[in-house]
């Protein structure tokens, strides 16, 4: 047991033993704290007695002893005990001398304090420590200057106070990283006095001029990948699939899409009573579990932002595999024959080679009268739409506005309603149903899409077809349940289908690419079963566990991408409004039943909540005036103007 009133060292701090028992001792530390510790946790320096610590005073004797040791050991000294040092300084080793030595050496860069003594640092080591301390002080001083300048710039909205000051960049980077969602906290923001939210820091970065209002942090904040995907080493078809492509180049095949589409991955054609939906075939080039596959899964989908598009697959793959981007295109084609009522009679899925003509929706609409193929496809699409409505499908139709940004300036482009767009949508739904049925019959893990019945079938307008009332469409949307993607096959109530999957966008949606992997694996197995000695080993379909894991990861990232696209649309709408503070325009009332109703601004495709005066009914058009806009909060408020305004 350690003697009472002996001097010990506990975690490099002197302490006096004031009481003890076989298990624990009570020590009084030099900083005034008392602690009960184990004997083995302290180092005995002196048997004492010592009842109190001497006053903290500089000691010339300790300084002289240290200089002597430094002169004798310029290369440094690994250890000299506290007792030995006290004897060198005072020719004696009283406990008070040891405490005085500890006080004198505590902040000396030449010394490292240890529990059983001190280590003398070498001259080179001391110089490095001095330089490190100097740099630390410079950072502290620069940080203090930044905080002061930032506060003034924030208050005065004057970027000149902090602009073009390179030493400040590291502090801006910390704030920016937090505001962009790259870090969980920012001690600097707390020091400045900014509320610890990305939106609050966003506001200060705008006020100080570090960020321009056009800067869009929402994709990063939502966890999206904004870098370009890596290019493949080569673009060649997988040998393990042993592909035998059906030549469908004699058919008139059309890839119909918006004028600004750069990734055409589906096309349609008619062949007698058979409808062909041709889909780009990246799964013929990309192997499951490969680097390209992992990259596509990490991205989830192509990210469509008003200011740019971030593809799921590298541009070289899109250029090589997109339908109609080359004179001939390789595809995975879904040949579907319908019964008279529109139900699927037969599905044939084959790798193919096609010649595709690209058309905009507007161009396709002008061709209906002169193209028997488009007329036939349109008629079949109408039969299919009628069938789905008879099965309680829900039609929701809102005006669509595309936002395109050039040089930081957003433009709002109304997307016209076209016959061809409705036709293409219906045929893509048909391909999804056919693929889901095909996979279900073969009992393979597959990315099925499902949606439970609406909260209210009456409010959803189940089976009633399209409505011209925007308020009614809004009401239908409100009672719909979220659609889910899983390996479990369930009905999709919104589409009025018992089987459904998404298979027509594998260049830009990982879920579709997963479906193609499974289809190709089964097709390869069926082809090889026809040969007694297959030339290559058939790839196995993804098992259920792998499918579920990949669907989970895809769903997580796809949700982030979807939210980022929504937030980015709102961001650029608010950027426009911030530059046009006197904006006035039309709004259409979607819902006036609650205290705060819902209004659509058709010019922007932007919805907002606001108090609606009594007497104004759903679907009425009102005149709005901008009252307030906050880009960081992603919010805007408006006033309803009197009818005469």
234-261: per-residue pLDDT in tens?
A: 999 999 998 999 999 999 999 999 988 9
CA dist 626 and 630 (Å) reads: 12
473 within 8 A of 397, measured Cβ to Cβ = yes
Average pLDDT, stretch 431-438?
98
Mean pLDDT for the chain? 94
Query: How far is the C-alpha of 327 from the C-alpha of 519, rounded, in Å?
Result: 26
579 and 636 Cβ atoms separated by less than 8 Å: no
Phi first, then psi, for residue 228 (nearest 5°) are -75, 140
Is residue 97 within 8 A of residue 90, CB to CB? The reply is: yes
Note whether 459 and 530 are same-domain residues.
yes
Retrieve residue 162's tokens: 């902090």
pLDDT higher than 80, residue 162: no
Q: What contacts 461, CB < 8 A, 6 or more positions away? A: 394, 395, 467, 472, 476
Rg (CA), the chain: 36
Residue 128 scores a pLDDT above 90: no
Assigned token pair, 30: 């030099």
Phi, psi of 584 (to 5 degrees): -135, 145
pLDDT in tens, 186-227: 999 999 999 999 999 999 999 998 999 999 999 999 999 999
SS3 of residue 401 by DSSP: strand
Nearest CA to 50 out of 104, 114, 4, 92 is that of 4
- Please list, residue by residue across 366-378, b when 16 or more beta carbons sit within 10 angstroms of its beta carbon and e when fewer do: ebeeebebbebbb
> pLDDT at residue 56 above 80?
no
For residues 290 and 250, membership in a common domain is answered with: yes
* 429 in the same domain as 543: yes
Domain interval for residue 299: 239-557
- Identify whether the C-beta of residue 205 lies closer than 8 Å to the C-beta of residue 154: no
Q: Flag whether 229 is in a domain.
A: no
Q: CA 543, CA 522: separation in Å to the nearest integer?
A: 13
Domain match, 497 and 603 both: no
Dihedral sign from CA coordinates of 59, 62, 68, 74: negative
Residue 220 covered by a domain: no
Query: Which are the contacts of 111, defined by CB distance < 8 A and separation ≥ 6?
Result: 66, 105, 118, 119, 120, 121
Do both 162 and 99 map to the same domain?
no
Residue with tokens 């918006």: 258
Tell me which residue of 387, 411, 386 sits closest to 401, measured CA to CA: 411
Those residues whose C-beta lies under 8 Å from the C-beta of residue 350, and which sit 6 or more positions away, are 245, 246, 332, 333, 335, 523
Among 145, 163, 162, 15, residue whose Cα is nearest residue 82:
15
Of 618, 613, 621, the residue nearest 467 (C-alpha) = 618
Nearest in space to 293 (alpha carbons), one of 503, 516, 522: 516
- Whether 372 is in a domain gets the answer yes
Residue 429 and residue 495 in one domain: yes
pLDDT at 645: 46
Catalogue the E-assigned strands of 383-528: 400-406, 409-415, 448-451, 483-486
Tokens 């058979």 locate to: 274
Residue 629's CATH number:
2.40.50.140
* pLDDT-wise least confident of 100-109, 159-168, 358-367, 433-442: 159-168
Query: Which of 91, 121, 151 delimits the end of a domain?
Result: 121
Choosing from 525, 557, 589, the residue where a domain stops is 557
Last residue of a domain, one of 94, 121, 148: 121
Model pLDDT for residues 568-625, shown as the tens digit of each residue: 999 999 999 999 999 999 999 999 988 889 999 999 999 999 999 988 999 999 999 9
For residues 496 and 453, what is the distance between their CA atoms, to the nearest angstrom? 10
* Together in a domain, 389 and 264: yes
The reply to whether 305 falls in a domain is yes
Q: Cα(491)–Cα(501) distance, rounded to whole angstroms?
A: 10
Asked if 103 and 57 sit in the same domain, the reply is yes
With respect to residue 232, please indicate whether it lies within any of the assigned structural domains.
no
| Element containing residue 270 per DSSP (H, E) | strand 266-271
Check whether residue 171 and residue 320 sit in a common domain.
Answer: no
In a domain, 231, yes or no: no
Question: What pLDDT is recorded for position 290?
Answer: 96
**203 and 68 part of one domain:** no
Note the helical H segments in 442-503.
Answer: 457-460, 470-478
Residue 132, C-beta contacts closer than 8 angstroms, at least 6 positions apart: none
The 3-state DSSP composition of the chain as helix, strand, coil percent (nearest 5) reads 40, 25, 40
Task: Tell me, yes or no, whether 568 lies in a domain.
Answer: no
Under DSSP, is residue 218 helix (H, G, I), strand (E, B) or coil? helix
621 by DSSP, 3-state: which? strand
Number of domains into which the chain is organized? 4
In a domain, 297, yes or no: yes
- Mean pLDDT across 324-342: 97
Kindly state whether residues 139 and 184 are assigned to the same domain: yes
Q: Are both 549 and 502 inside the same structural domain?
A: yes
């Amino acid at each position: 047991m350690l003697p009472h009133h002996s001097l010990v060292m506990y975690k490099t701090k002197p302490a006096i033993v004031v009481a003890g028992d076989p298990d624990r001792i009570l020590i009084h530390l030099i900083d005034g704290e008392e602690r009960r510790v184990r004997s083995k946790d302290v180092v005995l320096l002196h048997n004492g007695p010592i009842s109190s610590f001497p006053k903290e005073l500089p000691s010339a004797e300790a300084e002289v002893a240290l200089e002597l040791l430094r002169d004798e050991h310029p290369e440094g000294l690994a250890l000299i005990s506290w007792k030995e040092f006290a004897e060198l300084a005072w020719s004696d080793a009283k406990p008070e001398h040891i405490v005085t030595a500890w006080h004198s050496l505590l902040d000396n860069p030449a010394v490292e304090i240890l529990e059983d003594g001190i280590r003398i640092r070498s001259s080179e080591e001391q110089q490095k420590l001095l330089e490190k301390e100097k740099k630390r002080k410079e950072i502290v001083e620069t940080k203090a200057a930044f905080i002061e300048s930032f506060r003034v710039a924030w208050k005065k909205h004057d970027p000149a106070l902090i602009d073009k000051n390179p030493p400040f960049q590291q502090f801006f980077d910390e704030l920016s990283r937090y505001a962009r969602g790259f870090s969980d906290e920012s001690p600097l923001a707390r020091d400045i006095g900014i509320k610890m939210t990305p939106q609050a820091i966003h506001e200060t970065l705008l006020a100080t001029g570090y960020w321009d209002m056009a800067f869009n942090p929402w994709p990063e904040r939502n966890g999206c990948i904004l870098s370009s995907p890596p290019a493949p080493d080569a673009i060649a078809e997988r040998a393990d699939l042993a592909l035998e492509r059906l030549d469908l180049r004699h058919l008139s095949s059309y890839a119909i899409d918006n004028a600004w589409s750069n990734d055409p991955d589906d096309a349609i054609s008619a062949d007698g009573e058979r409808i062909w939906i041709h889909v780009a075939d990246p799964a013929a080039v990309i192997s499951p579990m490969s680097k390209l596959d992992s990259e596509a899964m990490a991205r989830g989908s192509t990210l469509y932002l008003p200011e740019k598009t971030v593809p799921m697959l590298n541009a070289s793959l899109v250029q090589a595999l997109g339908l109609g981007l080359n004179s001939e295109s390789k595809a995975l084609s879904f040949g579907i024959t319908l019964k008279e009522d529109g139900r699927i009679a037969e599905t044939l899925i084959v790798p193919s080679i096609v010649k595709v003509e690209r058309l905009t929706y507007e161009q396709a609409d002008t061709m209906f009268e002169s193209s028997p193929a488009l007329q036939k496809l349109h008629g079949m699409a109408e039969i299919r739409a009628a069938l789905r409505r008879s099965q309680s499908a829900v039609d929701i139709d809102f005006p669509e506005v595309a936002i395109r940004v050039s040089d930081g300036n957003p433009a709002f482009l109304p997307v016209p309603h076209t016959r061809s767009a409705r036709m293409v949508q219906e045929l893509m739904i048909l391909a999804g149903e056919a693929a889901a049925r095909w996979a279900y019959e073969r009992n393979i893990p597959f990315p099925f899409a499902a949606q439970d019945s609406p909260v209210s079938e009456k409010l959803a307008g189940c089976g009633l077809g399209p409505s011209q009332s925007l308020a009614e469409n809004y009401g239908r949307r409100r009672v719909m349940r979220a659609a889910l993607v899983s390996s479990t096959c369930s009905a999709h109530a919104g589409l009025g289908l018992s089987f459904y999957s998404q298979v027509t966008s594998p260049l830009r949606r990982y879920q579709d690419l997963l479906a193609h992997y499974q289809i190709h694996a089964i097709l390869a197995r069926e082809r090889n079963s026809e040969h007694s000695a297959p030339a290559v080993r058939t790839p196995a379909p993804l098992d259920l566990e792998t499918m579920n894991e990949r669907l989970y990861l895809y769903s997580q990232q796809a949700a982030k991408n979807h939210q980022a696209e929504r937030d980015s649309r709102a961001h650029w709408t608010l950027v426009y409004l911030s530059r046009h503070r006197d904006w006035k325009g039309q709004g259409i009332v979607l819902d006036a039943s609650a205290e705060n109703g819902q209004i659509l601004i058709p010019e922007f495709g932007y919805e907002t909540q606001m108090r609606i005066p009594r007497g104004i009914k759903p679907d009425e058009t009102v005149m709005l005036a901008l009252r307030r806009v906050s880009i960081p909060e992603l919010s805007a408020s408006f006033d309803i103007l009197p009818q005469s305004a």
